[in-house]
Amino acid sequence: MPEPTHILLVEDHAFTRDGLRATLNLESDLQVVAEARSGEEALEILVQHRVDLAVVDIGLPGMDGIATAREIKRRWPTVRIVMLTAHDLREEVFASLASGADAYCLKSASPELLLLAIRAAAAGSAYLDPQVAHHVLGGVRMPEARSPLTRRELEVLKLIADGLPNKEIAEQLGISVSTVKLHVQDILVKLQAADRTQAAVKALRAGLL
Protein backbone atom coordinates (compact mmCIF):
# COMPACT_ATOMS: atom_id res chain seq x y z
CA MET A 1 0.00 0.00 0.00
CA PRO A 2 1.50 3.39 -0.95
CA GLU A 3 2.49 5.80 1.77
CA PRO A 4 -0.14 8.48 2.48
CA THR A 5 0.39 12.12 1.54
CA HIS A 6 1.95 13.86 4.54
CA ILE A 7 0.10 17.11 5.22
CA LEU A 8 0.92 20.24 7.21
CA LEU A 9 -2.04 22.35 8.32
CA VAL A 10 -1.31 26.07 8.58
CA GLU A 11 -4.36 27.66 10.21
CA ASP A 12 -4.59 30.02 13.18
CA HIS A 13 -8.15 29.12 14.22
CA ALA A 14 -8.20 25.98 16.38
CA PHE A 15 -11.79 25.11 15.49
CA THR A 16 -11.08 25.15 11.75
CA ARG A 17 -7.82 23.28 12.26
CA ASP A 18 -9.58 20.55 14.27
CA GLY A 19 -12.20 20.16 11.57
CA LEU A 20 -9.61 19.90 8.82
CA ARG A 21 -7.59 17.34 10.75
CA ALA A 22 -10.64 15.21 11.44
CA THR A 23 -11.74 15.30 7.80
CA LEU A 24 -8.32 14.52 6.33
CA ASN A 25 -7.35 11.79 8.78
CA LEU A 26 -10.46 9.82 7.84
CA GLU A 27 -8.88 9.26 4.42
CA SER A 28 -6.43 6.36 4.11
CA ASP A 29 -4.32 8.18 1.52
CA LEU A 30 -3.95 11.39 3.55
CA GLN A 31 -2.28 12.01 6.91
CA VAL A 32 -1.90 15.23 8.90
CA VAL A 33 1.61 15.02 10.34
CA ALA A 34 2.00 18.57 11.68
CA GLU A 35 0.08 21.75 12.44
CA ALA A 36 1.06 25.42 12.61
CA ARG A 37 -0.78 28.53 13.77
CA SER A 38 1.30 30.97 11.73
CA GLY A 39 3.50 31.17 8.66
CA GLU A 40 6.60 31.54 10.81
CA GLU A 41 5.74 28.39 12.75
CA ALA A 42 5.08 26.52 9.51
CA LEU A 43 8.58 27.30 8.24
CA GLU A 44 10.10 26.02 11.48
CA ILE A 45 8.09 22.81 11.24
CA LEU A 46 9.13 22.21 7.64
CA VAL A 47 12.76 22.16 8.71
CA GLN A 48 12.00 19.25 11.04
CA HIS A 49 9.28 17.26 9.27
CA ARG A 50 8.95 15.67 5.85
CA VAL A 51 5.84 17.18 4.36
CA ASP A 52 4.37 16.53 0.92
CA LEU A 53 1.63 19.13 0.99
CA ALA A 54 0.66 22.19 3.03
CA VAL A 55 -2.90 23.45 3.48
CA VAL A 56 -2.42 27.17 4.12
CA ASP A 57 -5.01 29.70 5.33
CA ILE A 58 -4.63 32.90 3.34
CA GLY A 59 -5.53 35.11 6.33
CA LEU A 60 -2.76 34.13 8.74
CA PRO A 61 -1.61 36.68 11.35
CA GLY A 62 1.84 38.17 10.81
CA MET A 63 3.21 36.51 7.69
CA ASP A 64 0.04 36.00 5.67
CA GLY A 65 -0.77 32.90 3.66
CA ILE A 66 0.46 34.31 0.37
CA ALA A 67 3.86 35.23 1.82
CA THR A 68 4.00 31.85 3.56
CA ALA A 69 3.26 29.99 0.33
CA ARG A 70 5.90 31.99 -1.54
CA GLU A 71 8.54 31.20 1.10
CA ILE A 72 7.63 27.52 1.25
CA LYS A 73 7.96 27.22 -2.53
CA ARG A 74 11.28 29.08 -2.45
CA ARG A 75 12.78 26.82 0.20
CA TRP A 76 10.94 23.55 -0.48
CA PRO A 77 9.81 23.67 -4.13
CA THR A 78 8.49 20.09 -4.11
CA VAL A 79 5.97 20.81 -1.35
CA ARG A 80 2.52 21.22 -2.88
CA ILE A 81 0.32 24.01 -1.53
CA VAL A 82 -3.46 24.22 -1.20
CA MET A 83 -4.58 27.76 -0.36
CA LEU A 84 -7.65 27.94 1.82
CA THR A 85 -9.70 31.12 2.12
CA ALA A 86 -13.08 32.45 3.13
CA HIS A 87 -13.11 34.84 0.15
CA ASP A 88 -13.26 34.53 -3.63
CA LEU A 89 -11.71 37.93 -4.26
CA ARG A 90 -10.06 38.06 -7.65
CA GLU A 91 -7.02 39.88 -6.25
CA GLU A 92 -6.46 37.11 -3.71
CA VAL A 93 -6.73 34.43 -6.36
CA PHE A 94 -4.13 36.13 -8.58
CA ALA A 95 -1.79 36.72 -5.64
CA SER A 96 -2.14 33.12 -4.46
CA LEU A 97 -1.40 31.65 -7.86
CA ALA A 98 1.53 34.02 -8.31
CA SER A 99 2.94 32.85 -4.95
CA GLY A 100 3.15 29.31 -6.29
CA ALA A 101 0.02 27.80 -4.74
CA ASP A 102 -1.13 24.70 -6.60
CA ALA A 103 -4.77 24.81 -5.55
CA TYR A 104 -7.23 27.42 -4.30
CA CYS A 105 -10.24 26.29 -2.29
CA LEU A 106 -12.93 28.16 -0.37
CA LYS A 107 -13.50 27.32 3.30
CA SER A 108 -17.19 27.07 2.49
CA ALA A 109 -16.52 24.26 0.00
CA SER A 110 -17.83 20.79 0.73
CA PRO A 111 -15.44 18.19 2.19
CA GLU A 112 -15.60 16.43 -1.17
CA LEU A 113 -14.31 19.50 -3.01
CA LEU A 114 -11.58 20.05 -0.42
CA LEU A 115 -10.43 16.46 -0.82
CA LEU A 116 -10.54 16.86 -4.60
CA ALA A 117 -8.33 19.95 -4.35
CA ILE A 118 -5.83 18.24 -2.05
CA ARG A 119 -5.62 15.08 -4.13
CA ALA A 120 -5.26 17.06 -7.35
CA ALA A 121 -2.43 19.14 -5.89
CA ALA A 122 -0.74 16.06 -4.41
CA ALA A 123 -0.86 14.39 -7.83
CA GLY A 124 0.86 17.37 -9.44
CA SER A 125 -2.21 18.97 -11.00
CA ALA A 126 -3.72 22.38 -10.39
CA TYR A 127 -7.13 23.00 -8.85
CA LEU A 128 -9.31 26.08 -8.72
CA ASP A 129 -12.53 26.04 -6.72
CA PRO A 130 -15.42 26.04 -9.25
CA GLN A 131 -17.03 29.05 -7.56
CA VAL A 132 -13.74 30.93 -7.78
CA ALA A 133 -13.16 29.88 -11.39
CA HIS A 134 -16.59 31.15 -12.37
CA HIS A 135 -16.07 34.43 -10.51
CA VAL A 136 -12.56 35.08 -11.78
CA LEU A 137 -12.68 33.71 -15.30
CA GLY A 138 -16.31 34.15 -16.22
CA GLY A 139 -16.04 37.66 -17.61
CA VAL A 140 -12.38 37.75 -18.52
CA ARG A 141 -11.01 38.57 -21.96
CA MET A 142 -7.53 37.55 -23.07
CA PRO A 143 -5.76 40.26 -25.05
CA GLU A 144 -5.46 38.41 -28.33
CA ALA A 145 -2.09 39.91 -29.23
CA ARG A 146 -0.54 38.47 -26.06
CA SER A 147 -2.42 35.17 -26.05
CA PRO A 148 -1.28 31.95 -27.72
CA LEU A 149 -4.96 31.01 -28.01
CA THR A 150 -7.29 31.84 -30.87
CA ARG A 151 -10.52 33.72 -30.22
CA ARG A 152 -12.49 30.46 -30.42
CA GLU A 153 -10.10 28.68 -28.06
CA LEU A 154 -10.54 31.54 -25.60
CA GLU A 155 -14.32 31.13 -25.81
CA VAL A 156 -13.94 27.43 -25.07
CA LEU A 157 -11.59 28.10 -22.14
CA LYS A 158 -14.06 30.55 -20.61
CA LEU A 159 -16.87 27.99 -20.81
CA ILE A 160 -14.60 25.35 -19.29
CA ALA A 161 -14.01 27.76 -16.41
CA ASP A 162 -17.78 28.01 -16.03
CA GLY A 163 -17.84 24.26 -15.46
CA LEU A 164 -19.54 23.30 -18.73
CA PRO A 165 -18.93 19.83 -20.23
CA ASN A 166 -18.05 19.42 -23.89
CA LYS A 167 -21.66 18.82 -24.97
CA GLU A 168 -22.91 22.06 -23.42
CA ILE A 169 -19.92 24.00 -24.77
CA ALA A 170 -20.78 22.70 -28.24
CA GLU A 171 -24.39 23.82 -27.83
CA GLN A 172 -23.39 27.27 -26.58
CA LEU A 173 -20.98 27.88 -29.45
CA GLY A 174 -22.99 26.13 -32.16
CA ILE A 175 -20.24 23.65 -33.02
CA SER A 176 -19.87 19.87 -32.78
CA VAL A 177 -18.63 18.02 -29.70
CA SER A 178 -15.71 16.64 -31.72
CA THR A 179 -14.70 20.20 -32.61
CA VAL A 180 -14.83 21.18 -28.94
CA LYS A 181 -12.58 18.23 -28.10
CA LEU A 182 -10.07 19.39 -30.72
CA HIS A 183 -10.11 22.91 -29.29
CA VAL A 184 -9.55 21.56 -25.76
CA GLN A 185 -6.61 19.48 -26.97
CA ASP A 186 -5.10 22.52 -28.69
CA ILE A 187 -5.56 24.63 -25.54
CA LEU A 188 -3.80 22.03 -23.40
CA VAL A 189 -0.93 21.75 -25.88
CA LYS A 190 -0.48 25.51 -26.27
CA LEU A 191 -0.55 26.13 -22.52
CA GLN A 192 1.39 22.92 -21.78
CA ALA A 193 -1.29 21.92 -19.30
CA ALA A 194 -2.21 18.43 -18.09
CA ASP A 195 -5.92 19.14 -17.71
CA ARG A 196 -8.57 21.85 -18.03
CA THR A 197 -8.13 23.38 -14.60
CA GLN A 198 -4.37 23.55 -15.01
CA ALA A 199 -4.87 25.34 -18.32
CA ALA A 200 -6.93 28.04 -16.60
CA VAL A 201 -4.43 28.37 -13.76
CA LYS A 202 -1.47 28.57 -16.13
CA ALA A 203 -3.20 31.29 -18.11
CA LEU A 204 -3.70 33.25 -14.88
CA ARG A 205 -0.09 32.83 -13.78
CA ALA A 206 1.23 33.85 -17.19
CA GLY A 207 -0.76 37.06 -17.04
CA LEU A 208 -2.85 36.08 -20.04
CA LEU A 209 -6.08 36.64 -18.15
* pLDDT tens for each residue of 136-148: 555 444 444 456 7
CB 156 within 8 A of CB 169: yes
What is the fold, at CATH topology level, of the domain defined by 138-205?
Answer: Arc Repressor Mutant, subunit A (1.10.10)
Same fold, 5-129 and 138-205: no
62-86: pLDDT as tens digits: 899 989 999 999 999 999 999 998 8
Cα–Cα distance, 177 to 38 (Å, whole number): 48
Q: Where are the domains of the chain?
A: 5-129, 138-205
Identify the pLDDT of residue 78: 94
Give the pTM. Answer: 0.66
How many residues in the chain?
A: 209
Domain 5-129 indexed as CATH 3.90.120.10: no
Identify the pLDDT of residue 6: 97
Who's near 49: CB < 8 A, 6+ residues apart? 6, 8, 33, 34
Q: Is 147 helix (H, G, I), strand (E, B) or coil?
A: coil
